[in-house]
Amino acid sequence: MPMRNTITLVLAAAGGLALSVAALAAGPAPAPLPPSNITLYEKPNFQGRSMTFSSRVASLNAVGFNDVAQSVKIDGKRDWVLCESRNFLGRCIRVHLKEKDLKRQKFSGLASSIYPVPDPRPAKR
């Protein structure tokens, strides 16, 4: 009986070693994207009244900018998502860096909530 316990321990130790080697071979996890800001403009071509945000907003109505944005600029590498209803519901679009006229995406004057795209999950190997 003690022999069986010894074999089990050896297999568990070998399995642990294999997992450690696999984790090392996969390399370090990618660094998270730095925070970014989004500026919404009430007119195309980044004109008119604007508001800048650094975190998600569940209701642009609460800050007086509901269904107003016609152009968008992002400061940073993280994309942002604009949704047509509060609480991130309804049709949503993803914006990368800037959109000088949201009419191109049929989203002019429709944004009611916004959020930054979260970091991607590390790929499973």
What value does the mean pLDDT take over residues 30-37? 77
8 A C-beta contact, residue 68 and residue 42? yes
* pLDDT value at 1 more than 50: no
pTM for the model stands at 0.71
**What strands, in cross-sheet order, belong to the sheet with 113-116?**
89-95, 80-85, 113-116
- Cβ atoms of 82 and 95 within 8 Å: the answer is yes
Cα–Cα distance measured from residue 65 to residue 8, given in angstroms and rounded to the nearest whole number? 64
Query: What is the fold of 37-116?
Result: Gamma-B Crystallin; domain 1 (2.60.20)
Residue 4 neighbours by CB under 8 Å, 6+ apart:
none
Query: Residue 27 has what pLDDT?
Result: 57
Give pLDDT tens digits for 81-120.
Answer: 999 999 999 999 999 999 999 999 999 999 999 999 987 6
Least confident of 18-32, 50-64, 95-109: 18-32
Cα 66 to chain centroid, rounded: 21
